[in-house]
Amino acid sequence: MKKLSVILTSALSIAALDAVNAQTKNPAVQKNPYTLVYEGAITQNEKGKVNIHPVKYKLNGIDIAANVYTPANYDASKKYPAVVVAHPNGGIKEQTAGLYAQRLAEAGYITIAADAAYQGASGGEPRHTDKPAYRTEDIHGMADFITQYVGVDANRLGVLGICGGGGYTLKAAQSDKRFKAVATLSMFNSGEVRRNGFQNSQLATVEQRLKQASDARAQEAAGGKVIYSGVAGVTDEEIAKTPTDLYREGFEYYYRTHAHPNSTFLYTMSSLLDLMTWDAATNMDLIDQPLLMMAGSKADTKYMTDEAFSKATRAKNKELFLIDGATHIQTYWKPEYVSQAVNKLKDFYQKNL
The predicted pLDDT at position 25 comes to 66
Distance of CA 343 to the CA centre of its chain: 20
Spatial distance between the Cα atoms of 287 and 313, rounded to a whole number of angstroms: 8
The predicted pLDDT at position 232 comes to 77
Quick one: 14-352 is in which CATH superfamily?
Alpha/Beta hydrolase fold, catalytic domain (3.40.50.1820)
The predicted pLDDT at position 7 comes to 35
Taking only the tens place, the pLDDT of each residue in 128-151 is: 999 999 999 999 999 999 999 999
CB 287 within 8 A of CB 182: yes
pTM score above 0.75: yes
Alpha-helical segments (H) within the chain: 14-22, 27-31, 96-106, 132-146, 164-175, 190-196, 206-221, 236-241, 245-252, 272-275, 302-311, 330-333, 335-352
Query: End-to-end distance of the chain based on CA atoms, in angstroms?
Result: 42
Mean per-residue pLDDT, 243-263: 96
Spatial distance between the Cα atoms of 231 and 20, rounded to a whole number of angstroms: 10
Residue (of 180, 199, 174) closest to 189 by Cα position: 199
Helix (H, G, I), strand (E, B) or coil at 87: coil
Taking only the tens place, the pLDDT of each residue in 329-351 is: 999 999 999 999 999 999 999 99
Residue (of 164, 301, 167, 168) closest to 230 by Cα position: 164
